[in-house]
Amino acid sequence: MTQANLGFQHRYVPSRLGPEGEGQAWRTLLLLHGTGGTEEDLIELGAALDPAANLLSPRGKVLEEGMTRFFRRFAKGVFDEADLVTGALELVDFVISAGQHYGFDLAHVVAAGYSNGANTAAGLLLLRPLVLTGAVLFRAVLPLAKPPQPELTGRRVFLSQGEYDPIIEAAQGERLAAHLRGAGATVELRRWPAGHELTASEIAAAHSWLANWA
């Protein structure tokens, strides 16, 4: 299948279930990499999270000292919120265009992001919630100082944090979870004996969470 540009350099991997009929994939995972990543970084992770899903993986367009990101920051932990808003709009347009081009169901898109990608996915939920039915957020924080509280009833979020993460304090994950719950989302917050890196145990837990999605 032709890999169109659609505004982002990206990779699309259709479900092995087939493009149509009863074998059509129910879900598409929007894979959002961390700082310095590419569209290839989370393909293996996406397949582990949901082997039956379509995988849509864009490359961030912002460069920070040569490393790709989805939105700018002024310093570590200090985000350029205006750029996050701009980036969220661009991603929404990209997902819609990709759905039309590749033929997947836009009603069942779940973001799966790590670090900067997870913060971007959280921003999408808060700023443009209609594009996502839920999210798997690895090492995310609440990315806006004064976040909106959209209607997120029916949205599901798996939030996975490392107890020894040197970048993200536990309170930051709890604040994000509380805000999403306050907007009506169903949130499962899990903590692991890990740092900023991902572990096999949390990937397996996220896989089970997705598999049990009713």
| Domain locations in the chain as residue ranges | 10-211
User: Distance between CA atoms of 144 and 88, rounded to whole angstroms?
Assistant: 12
β strands within 65-133, DSSP E: 67-69, 73-75, 78-79, 109-114
21 pLDDT tier (thresholds 50, 70, 90):
very low
Task: Compute the half-sphere exposure of residue 132: CA atoms within 13 Å on the CB side of its CA.
Answer: 32
Of 27 and 17, which is predicted with more confidence?
Answer: 27
The pLDDT tens digits of the residues spanning 30-68 come to 999 999 999 999 999 999 999 999 999 999 999 888 899
Whether 20 shows a pLDDT value over 80: the answer reads: no
**How many residues does this entry show for the chain?**
214
The pLDDT tens digits of the residues spanning 137-191 come to 999 999 999 999 999 999 999 999 999 999 999 899 999 999 999 999 999 999 9
Q: Is 115 considered catalytic here?
A: yes
10, 33, 50, 115: the catalytic one is 115
Q: Which three-class secondary structure state does DSSP give residue 40?
A: coil
Query: Which two tokens mark 147?
Result: 């976040």
CA–CA–CA angle 158, 77, 81 (5° rounding): 85
List beta partners, residue 16: none
Q: Domain 10-211: give its CATH code.
A: 3.40.50.1820
Mean pLDDT confidence for 86-105: 94
C-beta of residue 206 within 8 angstroms of C-beta of residue 49: yes
101, 108, 196, 207: the catalytic one is 196
pLDDT at 196: 95
41, 50, 57, 165: the catalytic one is 165
List beta partners, residue 12: 56
Q: Is 165 considered catalytic here?
A: yes
